[in-house]
Amino acid sequence: MIVKLENPQKAEKLFADWQEGCVWSALQGIMGDIYVDDEAGPASGAVVLGDFAFLAGKPNRDILLWKPLVGEKNFMIFVPQNDDWNGIIEECYGNRAKKVVRYAIKKERNIFDREQLEDVVLNLSSEYRISVIDKELFNQCMALEWCRDGVANYPDYDLYRRYGLGVVILKGEEIVASCSSYSGFNDGIEIEIDTKVDYRRQGLAYVCAAKLILECLDRGWFPSWDAHNLMSVGLAKKLGYHFDREYTAYEIRDC
């Protein structure tokens, strides 16, 4: 029987080796849900936060097919802890499961060159302005499909103010780039970065991310970064991060 844990500490051993901000968020009871096969001594489990499901322990078909795992979503990203999950993901979801490569970035503190990041922000063109996300900007981002992921996992601004952080670049009153927290954990955030289509390839993501990292440094927070493609890896390196490894994930359509 699959159960949703009320006490996330019961899954600590199952997810102990994960270096992933979203997993930390769930284990700390801040945001996200944890599903396991046995509440007393789980052998299999999943952390679900936003569009991601992180699968740990012994592969379990019941967890993969348990409808509350994906809710009403039409799209999910399954991240298996080990290759043993791959086969049953493909069996359960068939051609709805697309195997992809993602890129882990090292979780290192004290690696950022503050002066470099400040220079990046100062060189933002005068036609734009940059601002930390407040309640008004939070609500604006929530209403914009292209940058909604940066705030959508927070049910309200109060939780975002406590465990989230973000910045936007505006042209006039229009948000054109956003770098915000996909999730929050104790002393850190998982970064989500987006640029409106018409404003891409102008370096706005670089500026936005530099500003958010500076804001994190001011708070003593760690800005965790995970890359979905090589372009994101390249941007992370420019900001001071170091590449860790490739890993397998599955994009699930029509869950």
The CATH number that applies at residue 49 is: 3.40.630.110
CATH number at residue 145: 3.40.630.30
Looking at the structure of the chain, the number of domains it has is 2
Alpha-carbon distance of 194 to 189, in angstroms, equals 16
Q: Is 245 inside any structural domain? A: no
Predicted pLDDT at 69:
81
Q: Rounded mean pLDDT of 237-251?
A: 98
Question: Are 178 and 230 members of one domain?
Answer: yes
> Is 172 within the bounds of a domain?
yes
pTM for the predicted model, two decimal places: 0.95
Question: How many Cβ atoms sit within 10 Å of the Cβ of residue 114?
Answer: 13
Residue 107: what are its φ and ψ, rounded to 5°? -90, 80
CA distances (Å), 56 to each of 46, 89, 166, 200, in order?
A: 6, 13, 30, 36
- Asked if residue 22 and residue 128 are part of one domain, the reply reads no
For the stretch 166-178, pLDDT in tens is 999 999 999 999 9
Same domain for 179 and 152? yes
Q: Is 247 within the bounds of a domain?
A: no
In a domain, 231, yes or no: yes
pLDDT reading at 70 higher than 90: no
52/86 same-domain check: yes
Residue 32 belongs to a domain: yes
The last residue of one of the domains, among 103, 122, 137, is 103
Do residues 228 and 162 share a domain?
yes
Q: What is the mean pLDDT of the chain?
A: 96
Residue 227 falls inside a structural domain: yes
Say yes or no: 64 and 132 in one domain: no
Q: What are phi and psi of 5, to 5 degrees?
A: -75, 135
Domain membership of residue 154 as a residue range: 114-239
